Structure 1
Amino acid sequence: MFGLVLGALIAGSWLGIHFYAMFVFELSWNAWPQVLLMAALQCWLSVGVFIVCHDAMHGSLAPGWKSTNSGIGAILLFLYAGFAWRKIRDAHFAHHKHTGEDGDPDFDTAHPTQFWAWYWTFFRRYFGWQSLIYVNTVVGIYLFVFDIPFMQIFLLYGAPALLSSLQLFYFGTYRPHRHGEGAFADGHNARSDNFSTLASLASCFHFGYHLEHHRRPDVPWWALPGARRAGVAA
């Protein structure tokens, strides 16, 4: 139940700020502080929405309620970027099964140390035609039906969404699984950041405690600091 409450707060805040930014807020030159604040919050909350979906994939959003996990995950993934639930879920399970090797859709075997090359591979694998059609449809409706200025759409919808993908990739994929940082602790081919709890929350909703997650994928995001203190990755 606690996970569902947190998930509702994250997703509700994300949607609330989005609708305010699109349909209430008026973009002007003297509103830049508010624009930057909303864009930063939307970027961070977008990361949170994906992490909520990630917990739904593992059944830890609503333990024991398979259909609830699937339903919430499917809705939020579609709203996030037009993603298909089963495709993303199956790809994530493949990541856990083949972490850091051939068959891992999150890993770039050709560029295991190069951030931008790996990110481009990651982006192409996940943001396919369905996502492009979805995003362009949303932008088109906002632009031509609701007459929202393009710059407002870009700054408060497009940019936070793109930056959130970079944030998720950097803290949730690249840092935990990159090569060239010493040997991995075990066959999970993952490492954890030594961030404080607050810094871990701010960076990627504790997804930087990544070895703990791979060893205990049933632990929800909000419980990962406790798992770390308990020595799950020791």
Structure 2
Amino acid sequence: MKKYTGIWSAGIIILCWSLHLIYWIQTPLNWNNPFLYLGILIQTHLYTGLFISSHDAIHGVVSPEFPKLNHGIGRLCATLFAFNNYSLLRKKHHMHHAYVNTDQDPDVHQGNFFIWWFKFMFQYVHWTQILAMAITYNVLKIWFPMENIILIWELPAILATLQLFYFGTYLPHRGEHEANNIHQSRSQTKNHLWAFISCYNFGYHYEHHDKPFLPWWKLTEAKEQNSQISI
């Protein structure tokens, strides 16, 4: 069953994202209910999981033995995450790995946090994506309250984008790196629980660049090995 772990992982994330969205998008909102805010955070984390699953598919590790299924799952996850273009993500991400922290790297810009985030977003947002979001929003309004759509479907996607950028790009690549750092990236200190909560272990970013063939749940093992080497 181990060779199907990537499929199971992506499937569980898609299922949880869908069920959680279905529940909250039709539930009457009570601003005094603390579970509403917890629900927004959980949906944000599940959106991040969709992107990470799509990212793993880009590296071919969701279903290594079945490439068409692998990329099909990646495309589905990217589409569920605000209609992202999987083909564009795939092309740009491979450029990021090939030219990390150079002028040809589409993800790394350095400088002011918000300018960097804007440039990062500009690389991937396309007018067709915005159009698809607008159409879907107006269709959803036929059946569900506007507030629910914004808080449970739209806001978590925006927050997840910020989460992915901050923990998966900004912190690992900001500033100068030592000349012998061949991956021009750094990792957070070892804390597997926080690594999962913050960005599905992609705070262990040096490990990802060093071994891009590892799925997100295997990055903890890579971090353990690097920790042992550094002792």
- Which whole-Å CA distance do the structure 2 matches of 1:184 and 1:73 have between them? 34
Asked whether 1:161 is paired with 2:157, we answer yes
Q: 1:28 aligns with which of 22, 30, 34?
A: 30
Q: Which residue of 1 aligns with 2:225?
A: 230
Pair 1:126–1:184, CA change in 2 (3 A): farther
Please tell me whether the aligned partners of residues 167 and 199 of structure 2 are also in contact (alpha carbons under 8 angstroms): yes
Q: CA deviation at 1:19?
A: 1.3
Q: CA deviation at 1:81?
A: 1.4
- Which whole-Å CA distance do the structure 1 matches of 2:58 and 2:95 have between them? 12
The aligned runs of 1:23-102 (5 Å cut-off) are 23=26, 25-30=27-32, 32-102=33-103
Letter of the aligned partner of 2:19 in structure 1? G
Q: 1:218 aligns with which of 213, 218, 231?
A: 213
Q: For structure 2, which runs of at least 5 residues remain unmatched after alignment?
A: none
Please tell me whether the aligned partners of residues 35 and 155 of structure 1 are also in contact (alpha carbons under 8 angstroms): no
TM-score, normalisation: structure 2: 0.92
Q: Percent identity?
A: 34
Local SS of the residue matching 2:65? coil
- Which whole-Å CA distance do the structure 2 matches of 1:34 and 1:26 have between them? 12
Q: 1:127 aligns with which of 125, 128, 136?
A: 125
Q: Which residue of 1 aligns with 2:12?
A: 9
- Which whole-Å CA distance do the structure 2 matches of 1:223 and 1:168 have between them? 18
Please tell me whether the aligned partners of residues 14 and 46 of structure 1 are also in contact (alpha carbons under 8 angstroms): yes
Q: Which residue of 2 aligns with 1:200?
A: 195
- Which whole-Å CA distance do the structure 2 matches of 1:16 and 1:82 have between them? 19
- Which whole-Å CA distance do the structure 1 matches of 2:193 and 2:208 have between them? 18
- Which whole-Å CA distance do the structure 2 matches of 1:69 and 1:14 have between them? 19
Q: CA deviation at 1:185?
A: 4.8
Q: CA deviation at 1:153?
A: 1.3
Pair 1:184–1:2, CA change in 2 (3 A): farther
Q: Which residue of 1 aligns with 2:112?
A: 114
Letter of the aligned partner of 2:160 in structure 1? S
- Which whole-Å CA distance do the structure 2 matches of 1:136 and 1:184 have between them? 46
Q: 2:185 aligns with which of 186, 190, 210?
A: 190
Please tell me whether the aligned partners of residues 88 and 124 of structure 2 are also in contact (alpha carbons under 8 angstroms): no
Please tell me whether the aligned partners of residues 183 and 206 of structure 2 are also in contact (alpha carbons under 8 angstroms): yes
TM-score, normalisation: structure 1: 0.91
**Off by >3 Å, runs of 4+ in structure 1:** none
Local SS of the residue matching 1:225? helix
RMSD: 1.6
Please tell me whether the aligned partners of residues 61 and 220 of structure 1 are also in contact (alpha carbons under 8 angstroms): yes
Please tell me whether the aligned partners of residues 191 and 211 of structure 1 are also in contact (alpha carbons under 8 angstroms): yes
Pair 1:185–1:161, CA change in 2 (3 A): farther
